[in-house]
Structure 1
Amino acid sequence: MPPSHTPVQYTTRIHDYPLHYTEAGSGEILLLIHGSLCDYRYWRWQIPALSQHYRVVAPSLRGFWPAALRSADDSFSIAQHIRDMSAFARRLGEGRPVHVLGHSRGAQIALELACGAPQEVRSLILADPGFRIAGEAPGAPLHTTVAKLLERGEVEPALAEFVDAVNGAGTWRQMVSWFKTMVTDNAYTLLSQIREINLDVDLDRARRLQCPVLLVGGAHSPARYGSRLDRLEQAVGQARRITIPAASHGMNLANPKAFNQGVLNFLAGLRADEARPPAGIP
């Protein structure tokens, strides 16, 4: 799927919801879970590269484009997305666990999926987790400010406020047109996200993870993402960590070559570990 090409869209019903997704490649399954304001189009630079080695599947979460919410909706929640992705992973894997990569808000979904259904997750990749860790000070009321702008119909100022807050000041002005189109399509999902402002993750659950874990950060991401990666790295003994140079929160777009190679190196390492004979066996 060349980045300029519109990906093929598929639809399957998950919990009576028409889940839209795209996929490419063959072999072991790599499930990509997007974050706030995004959908499967977010992975336009990952699918062509990663699908040369894996069957890459990228869904649009419930409530996002192409069936994006236009108002607040109780069916939109982290918990529902976890249930959806768990069922989707089971369907994809057909009894075998899948690799899962989650970015930002999607990293919380990926982590909770791995913690709650470990039999479904072969490995876990968390890129700039957007969740608060239990005990972390509450963040600024960003969603409240953004919601007020959206309710007044000031969509672009709302998106600029949000995108700059998670990536760094001035990011919105520099965004390419396709990205602005995508986040505009998903703008009103932020009205439902307001209920998640201080939803946190318990590190005790993460400590019990048994699958291989890769933590990915952007070299220029806001400090809160790095501090969360620090705490996750300390809590999860088997975690590996990489930093994507010349990139902020949207690291897979800013430096896709380094991001894709980091993911492929991690997954290739897992294959090498599996192929290596146990200690003591020649």
Structure 2
Amino acid sequence: MSANTLSDSKSYVEPDVKQRATTKGIAKGIYVSGTGPAIVFLHSSLSSSRQWLPLVKQLENHFTCINVDILGYGGADRVSDPENYSFDVEIARIKQALAAVIGNGSYHLVGHSCGGAIALKLAVEAPQRVLSLSLFEPVAFNLLPAGSELRNVADEFANRVDIEDKFKAAEVFTDFWNMKGFFQSLPDKMQALMANDMAKVTLDFKGLISASYSLANVAEIKAPTLFLTGKYSPQLSHSLAETIIGSLPNVKSVEVEAGHMAPVSHGKLVLPIIADFIQQHAENH
């Protein structure tokens, strides 16, 4: 198994130097393009909406693509109240964009890692509006029982990256999701960008762990769901995936020959699977 099988130096996405235009009346860092049924795209931590651009370009001729920079990443604003941060802040911002673009209409959801967890929460809150749900290893740690071995692993991981040395925190974080030595293999510029964003990663963990929905709520999502996993992802991801997949009533699971960052590092493998799934279920409506 080569390093490239797990990931590569493109596993994380630098923010735009020149930001794309945000649609008038929609929060900064949310980009709308195309026409047709709506799709919401949510990226992973230490990334940006740019990670979904190849998929957006493939789909925007037939879909309205709402590509979101999560707060603190890309062109989005910083979190204004870190002490009281939760994913409710992210959800409110996304719902505002949805209202502006499609009113009370339905939409497809795509999410990876932290973005997958936000997508799952959004689907739980309004399952009747979701046309399809495409997830790559959503890190919904709140679904792990408090005190369980897996929850303890997740909590310990969160504590290991919540440290003053942001370069070390970024190394711990990215090596966990990729492989040991990954961070040190990156260019200095990329290391600095990641270190600068680690304060938001800590808030992402706060959002993940404090979310209050349950597996019983997940079971109420009737929309067709594509659940992707990476063969070489950490055991924590695999175990959490099994837990969530077991609760989804209408799910198709697919494992790919890659790791947790596959939507970026192996986009040519992953993105067509998502595109085909969305197009298939768009035709059914």
| Structure 1 residue 38: Cα displacement | 2.3
| Structure 1 residue 73: Cα displacement | 1.4
73-82 vs 232-241, which moves further: 73-82
| Structure 1 residue 121: Cα displacement | 2.2
| Structure 1 residue 90: Cα displacement | 2.7
Partner of 2:271: 260
Paired residue secondary structure (2:246): helix
1:228 and 2:243 correspond: no
Hey, what's the Cα distance between the residues in 1 that align with 2:168 and 2:54?
Answer: 27
Q: 1:89 to 1:42 in 2, by over 3 A?
A: same
Equivalent positions of 1:92-131 (< 5 A) are 92-131=101-140
Q: 1:32 to 1:172 in 2, by over 3 A?
A: same
Unaligned runs of 5+ in 1: 275-282
Given candidates 87, 90, 106, the residue that maps to 2:99 is 90
| Structure 1 residue 207: Cα displacement | 0.6
116-125 vs 206-215, which moves further: 116-125
Partner of 1:66: 75
Equivalent positions of 1:192-203 (< 5 A) are 192-193=203-204, 195-196=206-207, 198-199=209-210, 201-203=213-215
Partner of 2:162: 147
Hey, what's the Cα distance between the residues in 1 that align with 2:34 and 2:24?
Answer: 18
Paired residue secondary structure (1:10): coil
Hey, what's the Cα distance between the residues in 2 that align with 1:196 and 1:107?
Answer: 12
Partner of 2:225: 213
Hey, what's the Cα distance between the residues in 1 that align with 2:281 and 2:65?
Answer: 17
106-115 vs 40-49, which moves further: 40-49
Unaligned runs of 5+ in 2: 1-15
Preserved contact between residue 229 and residue 260 of structure 2 (Cα < 8 Å): yes
| Structure 1 residue 217: Cα displacement | 1.0
Q: 1:222 to 1:134 in 2, by over 3 A?
A: closer
**One-letter amino acid of the counterpart of residue 242, structure 1:** V
Hey, what's the Cα distance between the residues in 1 that align with 2:225 and 2:124?
Answer: 12
Q: 1:7 to 1:178 in 2, by over 3 A?
A: farther
Hey, what's the Cα distance between the residues in 1 that align with 2:139 and 2:69?
Answer: 18
133-142 vs 68-77, which moves further: 68-77
Partner of 1:280: none
TM-score by length of 2: 0.79
Which of the two has greater strand per residue? 1
Hey, what's the Cα distance between the residues in 2 that align with 1:109 and 1:194?
Answer: 12
Paired residue secondary structure (1:137): helix
TM-score by length of 1: 0.80
- Between the two proteins, the alignment pairs up a number of residues equal to 264
Partner of 2:280: 269
Partner of 2:35: 26
Hey, what's the Cα distance between the residues in 2 that align with 1:5 and 1:193?
Answer: 23
If asked which structure has higher relative contact order (CA below 8 Å, sep 6+), I would say 2
| Structure 1 residue 258: Cα displacement | 1.7
1:170 and 2:181 correspond: yes
**One-letter amino acid of the counterpart of residue 8, structure 1:** R
Hey, what's the Cα distance between the residues in 2 that align with 1:155 and 1:13?
Answer: 35
| Structure 1 residue 185: Cα displacement | 4.8
Q: 1:238 to 1:58 in 2, by over 3 A?
A: same
| Structure 1 residue 31: Cα displacement | 0.8
Paired residue secondary structure (1:126): strand
